[in-house]
Protein backbone atom coordinates (compact mmCIF):
# COMPACT_ATOMS: atom_id res chain seq x y z
CA UNK A 1 0.00 0.00 0.00
CA UNK A 2 1.37 3.46 -0.89
CA UNK A 3 2.53 5.65 1.90
CA UNK A 4 0.74 8.98 2.41
CA UNK A 5 2.94 12.08 2.39
CA UNK A 6 2.38 14.76 5.00
CA UNK A 7 0.77 18.00 3.86
CA UNK A 8 3.23 20.86 3.28
CA UNK A 9 3.61 23.29 6.13
CA UNK A 10 1.68 26.54 5.70
CA UNK A 11 3.24 28.38 8.59
CA UNK A 12 2.69 32.16 8.72
CA UNK A 13 6.43 32.75 8.49
CA UNK A 14 6.75 30.70 5.31
CA UNK A 15 3.78 32.52 3.72
CA UNK A 16 5.27 35.89 4.67
CA UNK A 17 8.60 34.96 3.07
CA UNK A 18 6.86 33.76 -0.10
CA UNK A 19 4.81 36.96 -0.34
CA UNK A 20 7.94 39.04 0.20
CA UNK A 21 9.79 37.20 -2.57
CA UNK A 22 6.91 37.68 -5.02
CA UNK A 23 6.67 41.39 -4.15
CA UNK A 24 10.42 41.84 -4.68
CA UNK A 25 10.31 40.20 -8.10
CA UNK A 26 7.35 42.32 -9.19
CA UNK A 27 8.94 45.54 -7.90
CA UNK A 28 12.18 44.76 -9.73
CA UNK A 29 10.21 44.34 -12.95
CA UNK A 30 8.57 47.73 -12.50
CA UNK A 31 11.73 49.65 -11.65
CA UNK A 32 14.09 47.89 -14.04
CA UNK A 33 11.75 47.79 -17.04
CA UNK A 34 12.64 50.05 -19.96
CA UNK A 35 10.54 53.22 -20.26
CA UNK A 36 7.41 52.97 -22.34
CA UNK A 37 7.57 54.28 -25.88
CA UNK A 38 6.23 57.81 -26.14
CA UNK A 39 2.86 58.22 -27.82
CA UNK A 40 3.05 60.70 -30.70
CA UNK A 41 0.31 62.71 -32.42
CA UNK A 42 0.94 63.05 -36.16
CA UNK A 43 0.43 66.49 -37.69
CA UNK A 44 1.54 67.47 -41.18
CA UNK A 45 2.74 64.72 -43.52
CA UNK A 46 4.02 64.53 -47.07
CA UNK A 47 5.67 61.72 -49.10
CA UNK A 48 5.87 59.48 -46.04
CA UNK A 49 7.54 62.13 -43.84
CA UNK A 50 5.52 62.95 -40.69
CA UNK A 51 5.78 65.75 -38.15
CA UNK A 52 4.91 64.27 -34.75
CA UNK A 53 4.23 65.99 -31.42
CA UNK A 54 3.58 64.92 -27.84
CA UNK A 55 3.18 66.74 -24.51
CA UNK A 56 4.69 66.69 -21.03
CA UNK A 57 2.48 68.41 -18.40
CA UNK A 58 4.28 71.12 -16.39
CA UNK A 59 1.51 72.20 -14.02
CA UNK A 60 -1.01 75.01 -14.07
CA UNK A 61 -2.26 73.82 -17.46
CA UNK A 62 1.06 74.59 -19.21
CA UNK A 63 2.76 71.82 -21.17
CA UNK A 64 6.09 71.22 -22.86
CA UNK A 65 5.36 70.11 -26.43
CA UNK A 66 8.03 68.01 -28.13
CA UNK A 67 8.33 67.79 -31.91
CA UNK A 68 10.17 65.33 -34.12
CA UNK A 69 10.22 64.41 -37.81
CA UNK A 70 9.75 60.76 -38.75
CA UNK A 71 11.31 60.60 -42.21
CA UNK A 72 12.28 56.92 -42.42
CA UNK A 73 10.36 56.62 -45.71
CA UNK A 74 12.63 59.10 -47.56
CA UNK A 75 16.26 59.80 -48.35
CA UNK A 76 15.35 63.45 -49.01
CA UNK A 77 15.82 66.06 -46.26
CA UNK A 78 12.53 67.44 -44.95
CA UNK A 79 12.04 70.11 -42.30
CA UNK A 80 9.32 69.69 -39.68
CA UNK A 81 8.02 72.64 -37.67
CA UNK A 82 5.84 73.25 -34.62
CA UNK A 83 4.10 76.64 -34.42
CA UNK A 84 2.46 78.28 -31.40
CA UNK A 85 -0.31 80.73 -32.22
CA UNK A 86 -1.64 83.81 -30.46
CA UNK A 87 -4.78 84.65 -32.36
CA UNK A 88 -3.93 84.60 -36.07
CA UNK A 89 -0.22 85.23 -35.47
CA UNK A 90 2.55 82.66 -35.08
CA UNK A 91 4.43 83.59 -31.90
CA UNK A 92 7.08 80.86 -31.84
CA UNK A 93 8.40 78.13 -34.11
CA UNK A 94 10.81 75.27 -33.53
CA UNK A 95 12.06 73.05 -36.34
CA UNK A 96 13.79 69.72 -36.89
CA UNK A 97 15.37 68.21 -40.03
CA UNK A 98 16.04 64.63 -41.10
CA UNK A 99 16.65 62.43 -44.13
CA UNK A 100 15.97 58.70 -43.92
CA UNK A 101 15.55 58.58 -40.14
CA UNK A 102 13.70 59.95 -37.13
CA UNK A 103 15.10 63.34 -36.14
CA UNK A 104 16.06 64.38 -32.66
CA UNK A 105 13.42 66.28 -30.69
CA UNK A 106 13.01 69.95 -29.88
CA UNK A 107 10.44 71.44 -27.56
CA UNK A 108 8.60 74.57 -26.53
CA UNK A 109 6.45 75.51 -23.56
CA UNK A 110 2.83 76.11 -24.49
CA UNK A 111 0.53 78.01 -22.13
CA UNK A 112 -2.93 76.69 -21.38
CA UNK A 113 -5.33 77.82 -24.10
CA UNK A 114 -2.69 78.35 -26.80
CA UNK A 115 -3.25 76.70 -30.16
CA UNK A 116 -0.61 74.95 -32.25
CA UNK A 117 0.05 73.80 -35.76
CA UNK A 118 2.68 71.77 -37.55
CA UNK A 119 4.32 72.34 -40.88
CA UNK A 120 6.56 70.39 -43.19
CA UNK A 121 8.71 71.55 -46.06
CA UNK A 122 10.85 69.74 -48.58
CA UNK A 123 12.54 70.25 -51.93
CA UNK A 124 9.35 71.16 -53.81
CA UNK A 125 7.35 73.10 -51.21
CA UNK A 126 5.53 72.49 -47.99
CA UNK A 127 2.23 72.40 -46.17
CA UNK A 128 0.78 72.91 -42.73
CA UNK A 129 -1.64 71.21 -40.40
CA UNK A 130 -3.60 72.62 -37.46
CA UNK A 131 -3.04 70.56 -34.29
CA UNK A 132 -5.28 72.47 -31.89
CA UNK A 133 -4.87 72.70 -28.14
CA UNK A 134 -2.15 70.90 -26.19
CA UNK A 135 -4.78 69.04 -24.14
CA UNK A 136 -5.60 67.06 -27.31
CA UNK A 137 -2.05 65.74 -27.76
CA UNK A 138 -0.74 62.35 -26.70
CA UNK A 139 1.48 62.30 -23.59
CA UNK A 140 5.17 61.61 -24.08
d(CA 7, CA 5): 6
Average pLDDT, the chain: 80
Residue-level pLDDT, tens digit, the chain, 140 residues: 566 655 555 565 554 555 454 455 444 444 433 344 679 999 999 989 999 999 999 988 899 999 999 999 989 999 999 999 877 888 888 889 989 999 999 999 998 888 999 999 998 888 888 888 888 888 99
The residue range of the domain holding 71 is: 41-136
The domain spanning residue 103 has which CATH number? 2.60.40.150
Per the structure, the count of domains in the chain is 1
Q: Does some domain include residue 24?
A: no
Q: Does some domain include residue 87?
A: yes
Q: Does some domain include residue 63?
A: yes
Q: Does some domain include residue 20?
A: no
Greatest alpha-carbon span in the chain: 92
Torsion angles phi and psi, residue 2, rounded to 5: -70, 145
27, 48, 56, 92, 109 from 61: Cα distances, Å: 32, 33, 11, 19, 11
pTM of the model: 0.69
Amino acid sequence: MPRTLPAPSRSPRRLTLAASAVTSVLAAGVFLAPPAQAAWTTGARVDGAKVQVCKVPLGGGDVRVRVRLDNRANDVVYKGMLHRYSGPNITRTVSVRAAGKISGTKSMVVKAGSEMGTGISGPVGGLGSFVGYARNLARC
